[in-house]
Amino acid sequence: MSFNHEFELLLRARYPLIYIPTPEEERVEGAIAQSAKHLGDRSVYIWDFVEGYQGNPNDDGFGRRNPLQALEFVEKIPEDGAAIFILRDFHRFLEDISVARKLKNLSRLLKSQPKNIVIVTPSIAVPSELTEVLTVLEFALPDVSEIKGEIKRLLAATGQSLNDKVLDELVRSCQGLSLERIRRVLARAIAAHGEIQPEDVELVLEEKRQSIRQTQILEFYPTTEKISDIGGLDNLKDWLLRRGGAFTERARQYGLPHPRGLLLVGIQGTGKSLTAKAIAHHWHLPLLRLDVGRLFGGLVGESESRTRQMIQLAEALAPCILWIDEIDKAFSGFDSKGDSGTTSRVFGTFITWLAEKKSPVFVVATANNIQALPPEMLRKGRFDEIFFVGLPSQEERYAIFELHLARLRPHNLKNYDLERLAYETPDFSGAEIEQTLIEAMHIGFSQNRDFTTDDVLESASQIVPLARTAQEQIQFLKDWAAAGKARMASRDSRLSSRIQRQFQ
C-alpha cells in the first residue's frame, strides 16, 4: 500500500493524530498536499516553532514559539471545516504535560470532526502516555520510479539524455538516498561539468556513504577481498558459487526467490568476517555493516525507531549484503535484561523481518558462541543455511599459508616449506597463522634478512592457539555441528579445480 493510499485511508477513518517520522519534510508535505487535494481540497495549515502558522494571511505567525497555542488553533477552525494541521518537529514538546493533555483532549474532539493533526519529525519519540492516541505512519524513501522521474526532470532541464543502461545504473546507485540528497548530488555533478555523466555514479555513492555514516547505525563497508583470498571452506564456497546469479532478473523469471541469508557459526579467527566481505565483492553488491549495539538508544521508543530505520535503509539500498558481526554478543540472554523489554522488542522486530522480508537484502551473520544465541534465531526460515566454520585442516592450513606467502613474498614462495608449516601448526586458526607470519617477519627484519621457514616455526612455537585455551567451548561447537545442527563449511579434500577456476 502506497503512503498516499494509507494516509488518505486514515483521514477518511478520522484518525485524529498521525505521527510521521521522516527526515524528508518537504517531500512528505508535498505528498500530504496531494492527498488533501484528492480528498476534496482540504485546507492544509503548517506550523513550526519559529514562524508559527504559515500560508494563510489571516493566521500568519499565529502560535509562534507557543506549541500549546498551535494546538488551540485547531479549535478555531469551524467544526465542519475539513483541514489538516502539519506540526513540524513537534516531538520535542510531547513531554510537556500541558501539550500531552491538550493532544488527548483533541483526540476525543476530532473523532467527530473532519480534522487531522499530523506531526512530522525526523525520528520517533513518543511518550508512553500518548501511544494510544498517536498513530505512527511510515514514509518510505523514494522508490525506483520516483528516483527515475527526478533524474529525468534534471536531465530535461539541462537538455541532455542518458542511455537506458547508464540511467538504470544511476537510479540504482541513488536508491537509499532522500530526494533532497539526490537533487543535491546531481546538482553538484551539473555544476562540475555542465551535465550528468556516467562517472557521476561515484559521486552518488560517496553521498550514500555520507548518508549512511550520519545514521550512525549502518556502515558502508568497502570490499576488496575475494573468495580466492579464503583458504579452505570448500563447501561454503561451492554453496556461494551456486547462488552467484540469484539476484538477477533471469533468476526471477526462472522462479527463484531472493536468497535470504547465511549464519556462520564457529571459532574466532577462522574467516567468518572475511567471508562476509568476499561475498559482497564476488556478487558485486554493496556491503553494509550493522553494529547491533548502535540500535539501542536511551530514550523511550528510540531503539525500536532505530531498528525500523535500519531495516528501511537496508531495503532501500537492496540488493545488498547486510553483515552483522558477532550477533551472539548482541542478543545473548536478551530475555533477562532489565531494560523494560527494549532488547526483547528489538530482537522480535529483527527476527520477524528476517523471516518475512521480501526485499533482496542478503544477511550474513557471524557468531562465536552458539549457546548465547536465542533458539528463535536458529529456526528454519530466518537464514537459507547455517554453516559451521571450524579450525582448518592440514590441507587448509597449507592453502592459508600459500595465500599469505603469495601475497607477502610472491617471488620467493618456493623458498618456504608449506607442507612442513601446515604439519607443524595443528589447531591454528587462519588468524593465528597470519599472526605467526607477521611475527616471523619481525624476526627477519630485526636481523636485516628475509624471514625463513624456521622463523615461521619459531614464532608458531611461541603462540598458544585458542583451540587450547578455549578447548571446552570449541569441543562443544564441534559436537553441536557434528549432531547435524549445521552444515560443515569445509571438506576434507582439497578444493576441486572447478571451484578454483570459478573464484580466480
User: Cell numbers at residue 417, please?
Assistant: 616449506
**pLDDT of 348 above 80:** yes
Judge whether 388 and 424 are in contact, CB under 8 Å: no
Q: Residue 496: its pLDDT value, please?
A: 39
Give how far the C-alpha of residue 193 lies from the chain's centroid of Cα atoms, to the nearest Å: 33
- Local structure of residue 484 (DSSP, 8 states): I
Which conformational region is residue 55 in: left (phi greater than 0), alpha (psi within -120 to 50 degrees), or beta? left
pLDDT of residue 338: 52
Supply the pLDDT for residue 502: 44
The alpha carbon of residue 420 and the mean position of all alpha carbons in its chain are separated, in whole angstroms, by 43
**In this model, does residue 443 exceed pLDDT 60?**
yes
Of residues 387, 353, 176, 435, the one with CA closest to residue 279: 387
157-166, 263-272, 298-307, range with the lowest pLDDT: 298-307
CATH of domain 144-215: 1.10.8
Q: How many CB atoms lie within 10 A of CB 308?
A: 18
Q: How confident is the model at residue 504 (pLDDT cuts 50, 70, 90)?
A: very low
pLDDT band at 229 (very low <50, low <70, confident <90, very high): confident
Domain with CATH 3.40.50.300 in the chain: 3-136, 227-389
Between the alpha carbon of residue 428 and those of residues 136, 370, 480, the distances in Å are 52, 21, 20
135: which 3 cell numbers? Answer: 498513530
Distance CA 456, CA 443 (A): 9
227-389, what's its fold?
Rossmann fold (3.40.50)
Mean pLDDT, to the nearest integer, of 64-75? 95
Residue 418 pLDDT more than 90?
yes
Per-residue pLDDT reduced to its tens digit, 486-495:
888 887 544 3
The residues facing 262 across adjacent strands are 364, 385
Strand-pair partners of 287: 221, 321
Which residues in the chain are classed under CATH 1.10.8.60? 392-426+430-464
- Over residues 213-222, the mean pLDDT reads 80
Cα separation of 29 and 24, whole Å?
9
* Closest-CA residue to 72 (of 81, 63, 80, 64): 63
CA max distance for the chain: 91
- The cell for 298 is 536511551
Question: How far is 126 from 145, CA to CA, in rounded Å?
Answer: 32
CA 499 to chain centre: 30
Query: Does residue 445 surpass a pLDDT of 90?
Result: yes
CA angle 427, 238, 466 (to 5 degrees): 15
**Does residue 197 surpass a pLDDT of 70?**
yes
Q: Which helix (H) or strand (E) holds 279?
A: helix 272-283
Q: 392-426+430-464: which CATH topology? A: Helicase, Ruva Protein; domain 3 (1.10.8)
Task: Report the DSSP beta bridge partners of residue 497.
Answer: none
Cβ pair 357, 393 in contact under 8 A = no
Of residues 112 and 343, more confidence is placed in 112
For the cut 60, the answer to whether the pLDDT of residue 339 exceeds it is no
pLDDT tens, 98-130?
Answer: 999 999 999 999 999 999 999 999 888 889 899
Which of 185, 215, 291 lies closest to 23, judged by CA?
215
Q: What is the mean pLDDT of residues 37-63?
A: 90
- Angle in degrees, CA 492, 495, 498, rounded to 5: 140
Residue 300 has what pLDDT? 53
The overall pTM is greater than 0.75? no
> Taking residues 437-463, what's their average pLDDT?
94
- The answer to whether residues 256 and 246 touch, using CB atoms and an 8 Å cutoff, is yes
| Burial status of residue 205 (CB atoms within 10 A of its CB: 0-12, 13-18, 19 or more) | middle
Question: Residue 464 gets which letter from DSSP?
Answer: -
Strand-pairing partners, residue 21, are: 121
Mean predicted lDDT score pLDDT of the chain? 86
- Residue type at 250 in one-letter notation: R
SS3 479: helix
pLDDT-based confidence at 45, cuts 50/70/90? very high
Handedness of CA 293, 294, 299, 301 (dihedral sign): negative
**Predicted pLDDT of residue 340:** 58
Res 442 pLDDT > 90: yes
Mean pLDDT of 423-440: 92
For residue 129, give the C-alpha cell.
Answer: 502516555
Per-residue pLDDT band at 409 (split at 50, 70, 90): very high
Can you give the pLDDT at residue 1?
67
- Topology of domain 3-136, CATH: Rossmann fold (3.40.50)
Distances in Å between the Cα of 59 and the Cα atoms of 45, 54, 69, 330 are 9, 7, 12, 51
Mean pLDDT, residues 420-446: 93
